[in-house]
Amino acid sequence: MEFISKIFALAVAAIFVQNFVLMRFLGLCPYIGVSKKLDSALGMGMAVIFVMTMASTFTWLIQTYLLIPLKIDFLQTIAFILTIASLVQLVEMIIQKTAPSLHKALGVYLPLITTNCAVLGVAILNINNKLSFIEAILNGLFAGVGFTLVLVLMAGIREKLDKAEIPKAMKGMPIAMIVAGCMALAFLGFSGLKI
Amino acid sequence: MEIILYSIATLGALGLIYGLGLAFASKKFHVEIDPKIEKINEILPGANCGACGHPGCFAYAEAIAAGKDEINKCAPGGEEVAKKIADIMGMKATSVERKIAVIHCQSGGNNNTFFRYEYQGIPTCKAAVLVAKGPNLCNYGCVFQNDCIEACSFDAIHLNENGMRIVDPDKCTACGACVKACPRDLIELVPISKQVHILCSSHDKGAEARKRCGNNTACIGCGLCVKKCPVDAIELKDGLAVINYEKCINCGLCATVCPTKAIVDPLAGKRKKAVIIEDKCIGCTLCAKKCPVDAISGEIKKAHKVDPDKCIGCEICYQVCPKKAIEMQ
């Protein structure tokens, strides 16, 4: 029971209270770049969930069984980035094979997950917060879910904004920035949650 | 020292494992890409200008390779690129036809415009059209403040002695700047070979349009040209006849029936007449069936004849003749 409540706390923290995009301000590039259409936002979210979960798994294993025993944990960043980059490549290949249209819609942002700070962020935070293996995997999953949630919300808002009457000077990016700020303010409300 | 060795060994091993993993994955998830796409993409200029209607050169290359698009749409690459793509695709290159700007109004000069008032405001068309529907009586016609000349960066639009804007076909590059500049949307980019134009943009009712046109050449929306057109290239849109230049064959029939001379045909009287070479003619009657003015007569399996008085030189028969028995003289 204690384990379940801990996982629940982890989930709420990763998805809402410490949301990667709106509270930690990580992964803003795809947040603004891929949030123009709902379906591509959803696809991107799924890709990020997959990459984050896999990255959490592999980086935790590498950190615990390779870097720490050999006392070379100063190589953390480069080893993690290497892992994430390979995973992203793998995801890109799989998406290109199984969903070419999604691959086209994601465009340049898919390879950009490689250098996405949110993915590296979750990997390093797992280690810094001294999470166990299972917790680290779940944290990666929840962080991805939080990212997807925000991305999909943003895409939904921006699709509506396209049809709304907005002053010409505010169309496109400026209004998206304002919306992002409003969403971050709204998510600030979650920081009062204590579990 | 140990740490350095460990570092090198660890990262090397990681890199190797990932590399092998990706190599395996790339075999497993290999996507066959049409080699033609690559080749065509290399030939295209890579400017990603979007003139072809695709988001980039690669998308255009894909469309060509899939046979979904023409090979001659690349404006920056022009004929040369079209030819090279034709080699790859095993097709005949049809070169991109140059377009020029056509101003669809014959009014707007010093002595062929009716005025509502004397305009003394800011000398641009955009400002002039805002003051009580513009200084000229026609609500659709040229307001002669010459924004188009201002917009043209190729010095291709000039004023003639009457103050009319004349497009220089040699200098015009069909960049579209004047099309955007004209607040009354009078200018259209038209393939240079199409020379028959409806030079009026008035959607007014017949009598009204006639009264307001200083040149007395308004389109009154009578629809005679629509009925006469042998290829259904003319359409009445809200009281104004508009030529679809993709269908137009330049025959000039519409100009002959237009009661107000709103349709201008610079080729009138200069067209060649069709002549049937009797030795080659097999009497298939195709030409007689296609002739829009019934200028061809003859019985089946006997040589046909063209009545030169009736022939309007539209070249339809010339194109349909399966035996190439028709010549334009």
**pLDDT tens digits along A147-167:** 999 999 999 999 998 888 888
Residue found under tokens 């000229």: B136
Give the per-residue pLDDT at B207: 86
- Does residue A61 sit at the B interface (CB-CB below 8 Å)? no
Q: Report which of residues B76 and A28 the model is more confident about.
A: A28
- Taking CA atoms, what residue in B is nearest to A88? B22
Share of chain A above pLDDT 70, in %: 96
Residues 6+ apart with CB under 8 A from B135: B115, B116, B117, B118, B119, B128, B143
CB B247 within 8 A of CB B191: no
CA–CA min distance B325, chain A (Å)? 52
CB atoms within 10 A of CB B217: 21
- pLDDT of residue A146 exceeding 90, the answer is yes
Q: How far apart are CA B105 and CA B156, in angstroms?
A: 17
Give the per-residue pLDDT at A194: 66
pLDDT (average), residues B164-180: 85
CB A52 within 8 A of CB A147: yes
Give the per-residue pLDDT at B95: 58
- Does residue B21 sit at the A interface (CB-CB below 8 Å)? yes
Inter-residue long-range contacts of B236-239, CB under 8 Å, 24+ positions, other chains counted: B238/B203, B239/B202, B239/B203, B239/B204, B239/B205, B239/B206, B239/B209
Write out the two tokens for A104: 């086209």
Q: Which domains does chain B have, with CATH numbers?
A: 35-89 (1.10.15.40), 99-264 (3.30.70.20), 274-328 (3.30.70.20)
Give the per-residue pLDDT at B92: 67
- pLDDT of residue B326 exceeding 80, the answer is yes
Q: Which of A62, A75, A104 to mutate to test the interface with B (most CBs of B within 10 A)?
A: A75
- Does residue B14 sit at the A interface (CB-CB below 8 Å)? yes
With 0-12 CB in 10 A as exposed, 13-18 as middle and 19+ as buried, what is A181?
Answer: exposed
- Does residue B277 sit at the A interface (CB-CB below 8 Å)? no
ipTM of the complex as predicted:
0.76
CB B131 within 8 A of CB B124: no
Q: In this complex, do B14 and A83 lie within 8 Å of one another by their Cβ atoms? A: yes
Q: Provide the pLDDT confidence category of residue B16 given band limits of 50, 70 and 90.
A: very high
pLDDT in tens, B64-75: 888 888 877 777
Q: Report which of residues B91 and B300 the model is more confident about.
A: B300
pLDDT in tens, A59-75: 999 999 988 888 888 88
In this prediction the pTM is: 0.51
B3, B7, B21 member nearest A86 (Cβ) = B21
User: Looking at the DSSP assignment, which residues form a beta bridge with residue B167?
Assistant: B157
Q: CA quadruple B199, B205, B206, B212: dihedral positive or negative?
A: negative
- pLDDT of residue B278 exceeding 90, the answer is no
Which of helix, strand or coil describes residue B99?
Answer: strand
Q: Which residues of A touch B7 (CB under 8 A)?
A: 72, 75
Give the per-residue pLDDT at B93: 59
CA–CA min distance B30, chain A (Å)? 7
- pLDDT of residue B109 exceeding 90, the answer is no
Write out the two tokens for B171: 């200098």
Q: Report which of residues A192 and A55 the model is more confident about.
A: A55
Residues 6+ apart with CB under 8 A from B241: B198, B219, B221, B223, B225, B226, B234, B235, B254, B262, B263
pLDDT in tens, A98-135: 888 877 777 667 777 777 788 899 999 999 989 899 99
Q: Are strands B234-237 and B165-167 parallel, antiparallel or unpaired?
A: unpaired
- pLDDT of residue A195 exceeding 70, the answer is no
